[in-house]
Structure 1
């Protein structure tokens, strides 16, 4: 019996050892699976964190670009407004100087010379338009241009307009027309261009 007991104990020990090896193998497999799962979760968490970081950086860059663009637009508006103020002041002063010129003795000579210049293209049946204050120059203008009727026209600063009633050809020699042309020229050639 003792021998049976020894065999039994030996078998029991062998079974226990075998069971322990299987338990150890299972535990090792479980540990390996836990490590792989943990590693996978850590990689997924890092991927999510990197993606969130990239999204936040992109959003910050986008907001920064929008702020810079908005700032640039505001600066452009201020520069354009300042340029427009300068141009308005320059041409307001020029207009005032032209109005002052119409009150000088040289203005009569200016008007007569304009009529003489247009007489080179003399057209019968013409009307010379002047501002109301210049009607006193009618005889001088007729003498310089030739036979023409002198009437009040829509002229605010000074100068004259000659219109042929037959052909509808119009020569505009008004100071406001010249000022308008100078303003257009000035805007194109002044160098006061705002680059975007």
Structure 2
């Protein structure tokens, strides 16, 4: 019986060893499968996180660019308003100085010189218009043959308007027209650029 017990014990030990080896192999295969699935899940999640991160980064960049653009536009609008206010104040001051010039002593001589130059440029049979108050200042100006002097209520500050229908010439040499012609030059040369 001893031998039978020994054989039975060896047989059981062999079965136990095979069972333990099979369990170890199953355990090892399970661990490998779990590790493989974890790696695949990690890769998939990392890719998803990377896509989400890229998407959110681009969305944040787009939003920041849009906000920056809106802020720049608002700043430009504010600067444009300030520039226009400065220009308006400057031209209002220039207009009042032109009004003072037209009311001053040097205006008559200037107006007479301008009338002579305008009449020469327009030629014979032209019409020169001035403010009604300025017509007496032009009575002694030598004008080409057929040139007429007329009153024009639309001339506000002073100066002259002229026309020669036969030659198709028209001129606006009023102080207001001269002042208005300076707007573009002023905005370009006054150092009030808007660079944002």
TM-score range, shorter chain: 0.7 to 0.9
Contact 1:108 1:137 in 2 (8 A): yes
Contact 1:164 1:170 in 2 (8 A): yes
Q: Deviations over 1:140-179 (max 9, x none)?
A: 3xx3323421122332221112211211212332111211
Q: Residues 184, 42 of structure 1: CA spacing in aligned structure 2 closer, same or farther, 3 A cutoff?
A: closer
Greater Cα offset, 125-134 or 1-10: 1-10
Aligned match of 2:189: 189
Q: TM-score, normalised by structure 2?
A: 0.84
Aligned match of 1:150: 149
Task: State the SS of the aligned residue for 1:151.
Answer: strand
Aligned match of 1:133: 133
Tell me whether 1:98 sits opposite 2:98 in the alignment. Answer: yes
Aligned match of 2:32: 32
Superposition deviation, residue 2 in structure 1: 6.7
Inter-partner Cα distance in structure 1 for 2:184 and 2:12: 112
Greater Cα offset, 21-30 or 151-160: 151-160
Consecutive unaligned residues of structure 2, counting only runs of 5 or more, are: none
Q: How many residues align?
A: 194
Q: TM-score, normalised by structure 1?
A: 0.84
Task: State the SS of the aligned residue for 1:145.
Answer: coil
Consecutive unaligned residues of structure 1, counting only runs of 5 or more, are: none
Inter-partner Cα distance in structure 2 for 1:39 and 1:182: 75
Q: Deviations over 1:170-193 (max 9, x none)?
A: 233211121122222222222221
Tell me whether 1:17 sits opposite 2:34 in the alignment. Answer: no
Q: Residues 184, 39 of structure 1: CA spacing in aligned structure 2 closer, same or farther, 3 A cutoff?
A: closer
Tell me whether 1:43 sits opposite 2:61 in the alignment. Answer: no
Q: Deviations over 1:110-142 (max 9, x none)?
A: 1111122234346221111112332333523xx
Contact 1:129 1:150 in 2 (8 A): yes
Aligned match of 1:54: 54
Aligned match of 2:124: 124
